[in-house]
Amino acid sequence: MKRAVARIDLGAIEHNCALLAELVGPGVELCAVVKADGYGHGMVPAAKAAVRGGATALAVATASEAAELRAALPDARILTVGALSRAEADVALQAGSEVAMWREGFRAFLSERARTLGVRPRVHVKYDTGMGRLGDSDPDAVLALCDAVAADEHLELAGFWTHFATADELGDEYFPRQLAAFTALAERVRASHPQVTVHAANSAAVFREPASHFDMVRCGIAVYGLDPFGVDPAEHGLRPALELRSYVADVKLFPAGASAGYGRSWRAPRDTYVGVVPIGYGDGWRRGLSNRVDVLIGGRRYPVSGTISMDNLTVDLGPQTTVRPGDEVVLIGRQGEEVQSAEDIARVLGTINYEITCGISARVPREYVGGEAG
């Protein structure tokens, strides 16, 4: 019995990728985003499962992620979407990663590094259509940069792309404006560079708007079976890949009024049994969940009662209980008919499902089922 474990179903990742590939149809590539340790699922096993499910490219945010992924997948098409410092650019180039670019100064620098290292990196020029983060928002400058990259013998113009700020806010008016601006410039880029891969959509955009699919889509959250709209993954046919589990380390009888945990934030309202579960905020099960969520034991819900500490939490099992030390505890996932999703946890914390799985700490071992993890 492990104190806390994240169980990852690689078959679910494969299924979700196959579903996304089917949704975008032939002729549109699926790039699976595996940054931040595969949103907490484990970058390399997630990447391999995504490729089995039909992803033809993999995206990471950082150069060191690209290098780690390259070591495990020598033949994969890898795209680093994040900003690169000069030192990081070398790491990305040596990893054979495709890179993002939006400034002429970086083109000149990268060209020189490519010549020195004897590589010819594939470059994706980024147009900031309204995310207000990476990319250049001046269409003429972006077009000029595309021309400069294409004319540079040390670089290859591989992609033209953008990123949406509000794709997950159904019905908003900003997403269509970003899409319209991008579509207009993409036509001009394609006119002079017909070979470029045009891409814009994240998971939410894939479900929301087929006109955003272009030549490739970049899906992260949906690959892991989490709902990009934060509600219910099943509505889109997605299967959550991650379950967070622990076990009952001890059961003890509390007299009415006795308290559990730091600060005595909970007191037994009656004589009751309390279960001790050895998982806490040191594992990413946030302290803000204290007295606000349930856990599943034996297919039933029990409230987390008392302040969650770094390594433990306590659960009110009621005045009579069949729960015994050693019983499995599910914190995220399904047990019998009961489900507690990453979306449920996110809602309680006022955040998004992304942050819940990314926040499961390195102390929690990842265990893989449904495919080869290596």
Q: Which residues are catalytic?
A: 35, 262
| Closest separation in Å from C-beta 219 to ligand PLP | 5
| Closest separation in Å from C-beta 315 to ligand PLP | 32
Residue pair 357/242 in contact (Cβ under 8 Å)? The answer is yes
Binding mask 15-34 for ligand PLP (x = CB under 6 A): ------------------x-
Residue carrying structure tokens 């259509």: 129
Choose between 224 and 281: whose C-beta lies nearer to ligand PLP: 224
| Closest separation in Å from C-beta 197 to ligand PLP | 14
- Interface of this chain with ligand PLP, residues 42 to 81, rule: CB under 6 A: 81
Q: Of 6-14, 214-222, 268-276, 305-313, which part binds ligand PLP (CB under 6 A)? A: 214-222
| Closest separation in Å from C-beta 275 to ligand PLP | 35
| Closest separation in Å from C-beta 59 to ligand PLP | 7
User: Of residues 193, 218, 245, 366, which one binds ligand PLP by CB under 6 A?
Assistant: 218
Beta bridge partners of 216: 29, 199
CA 338-341-343 angle, to 5 degrees, is 145
Establish if 357 lies at the interface with ligand PLP (CB under 6 A): no
Burial class (CB in 10 A: 0-12, 13-18, 19+), 256: exposed
Q: Of 87-95, 202-210, 279-287, 342-350, which part binds ligand PLP (CB under 6 A)? A: 202-210
| Closest separation in Å from C-beta 238 to ligand PLP | 11
- How many residues bind ligand PLP (CB under 6 A)? The answer is 13
Residue pair 304/314 in contact (Cβ under 8 Å)? The answer is yes
Establish if 221 lies at the interface with ligand PLP (CB under 6 A): yes
Choose between 198 and 204: whose C-beta lies nearer to ligand PLP: 204
How far apart are alpha carbons 372 and 374 in whole angstroms? 6
How far apart are alpha carbons 29 and 197 in whole angstroms? 9
Choose between 53 and 220: whose C-beta lies nearer to ligand PLP: 220
- Interface of this chain with ligand PLP, residues 73 to 132, rule: CB under 6 A: 81
- Interface of this chain with ligand PLP, residues 151 to 190, rule: CB under 6 A: 163
Q: Of 2-10, 198-206, 295-303, 364-372, which part binds ligand PLP (CB under 6 A)? A: 198-206
Establish if 202 lies at the interface with ligand PLP (CB under 6 A): yes
Choose between 202 and 340: whose C-beta lies nearer to ligand PLP: 202
- Interface of this chain with ligand PLP, residues 228 to 267, rule: CB under 6 A: 228
Measured from each CB, the residue nearest to ligand PLP is 220
Establish if 200 lies at the interface with ligand PLP (CB under 6 A): no
Burial class (CB in 10 A: 0-12, 13-18, 19+), 123: buried
Establish if 220 lies at the interface with ligand PLP (CB under 6 A): yes
CA-to-CA separations, 286 to 152, 228, 289, 294, in angstroms, rounded: 50, 21, 6, 13
User: Of residues 20, 99, 219, 279, which one binds ligand PLP by CB under 6 A?
Assistant: 219
Residues 81-114 as b or e (16 or more Cβ within 10 Å = b): bbbbeeebbbbbbebbbbbbbbeeebbeebbebb
Residues 186-201 as b or e (16 or more Cβ within 10 Å = b): beebeeebeebbbbbb
Beta bridge partners of 245: 5, 330
| Tokens of residue 310, six digits | 């770094």
Contacts of 328 (CB under 8 A, 6+ apart): 245, 247, 297, 335
Q: Of 196-204, 244-252, 290-298, 311-319, which part binds ligand PLP (CB under 6 A)? A: 196-204
State the number of CA atoms in the 13 A half-sphere of 244 facing the CB.
25
How far apart are alpha carbons 309 and 305 in whole angstroms? 11
Choose between 220 and 284: whose C-beta lies nearer to ligand PLP: 220
State the number of CA atoms in the 13 A half-sphere of 238 facing the CB.
29
DSSP assignment of 319-350 equals: SS----TT-EEEEEEEETTEEE-HHHHHHHHT
Which residues form the interface with ligand PLP (CB under 6 A)?
33, 35, 81, 163, 202-204, 218-222, 228
